[in-house]
Amino acid sequence: MTNSDPQKYNPIIFGEVLFDCFDDGAQVLGGAPFNVARNLAAFGNRPFLISSVGSDDLGKTILAKMTSWDMATDGIGVTDRASTGKVTITVTKGQPTFSILKNQAYDYIMVPDAVTQMQASKDTFLYFGTLALRSKHNQNSLNKIITTLNPTVFVDINLRMPWWDMLTVNIALSKAHWLKINDDELTTLSNKLGYKENDLKEIARIFLNQYKFNGIIVTCGEKGAFVLTPNYYGKPPAPKQKEVIDTVGAGDAFAAVFLHGLIHQWNIETTTNRAQDFASRICELRGAVSEDKSFYTNLLEKW
């Protein structure tokens, strides 16, 4: 896809694109920002992914795959400073354990020229996760993008040891209008910040008020999720999967549909329920996205 009409891209996605390398030898294209962008594209949106790959075969594979899925590649830089990103994943009883390598291509994300041509507004969303902020280079690039576009920012907290600290988390929280975080991460940050509350909903309310978010999404694994805004609290029914293959990408799936709902101005309850349903469907797949177009079109028809 060429960048012929950059102002129509929505949302802007910033962060890592990489290969998830499973313990059985399978390699699946992933990275939370890529997963979100891929799902959004499959649902008929025009996401603009800003990332970086190496000048290697895996990088070429990513660009070819994105082109085949009709995703814009104009925001993907190619660097000689590091190889295309990899994460090794071990799955035990459906739960993934991640080993994230240092000095990867996605640590060197440049601001693409197309950003200066974009006509962004409060209706333009920017998504990023905290893993992409582990490099100072990326922090600077992200700051330039936000300064240029002044979008509505959707932050996905990813506390992957040892690649996070409170400095980078606070950078993310200070820029966020919407925050997505899982229950363990919310508890971890609450303890780090010295909050005394133990109830997840009340902890979320503290964060909501402290950082003046539009809303906060808390995912709770097999227990589902809840959404809190200044005027709304909703907790959809816990998901009922036919068979859990793995939970890789479930949170990314939730984020993608939630962003889709915000872009298309669904009400929050509808958005939350559909996001939960889609996340549960992703758990029935290996990896975080589907190659089957009908997987997405069947849901769109119901929506």
Phi then psi for residue 211, to 5 deg, are -105, 5
> How many Cα atoms are found within 13 Å in the side-chain-facing hemisphere of 118?
31
The per-residue pLDDT for range 135-154, each reduced to its tens digit, is 999 999 999 999 999 999 99
Decide if pLDDT at 11 tops 60: yes
The per-residue pLDDT for range 203-215, each reduced to its tens digit, is 999 999 999 999 9
Q: Domains in the chain and their CATH numbers?
A: 6-110+122-302 (3.40.1190.20)
Decide if pLDDT at 4 tops 80: no
| Structural contact between residues 50 and 116, judged by C-beta atoms closer than 8 angstroms | no
Give me the pLDDT at residue 3, please: 47
Alpha carbon distance 98, 248 (integer Å): 10
- Angle formed at CA 109 by CA 108 and CA 113, multiple of 5 degrees: 140
pLDDT bracket for residue 20 (50, 70, 90): confident
pLDDT bracket for residue 1 (50, 70, 90): very low
Which DSSP state fits 267? -
Query: pLDDT higher for 215 or 302?
Result: 215
Decide if pLDDT at 81 tops 50: yes
pTM listed for this prediction: 0.91
Q: Is 124 helix (H, G, I), strand (E, B) or coil?
A: coil
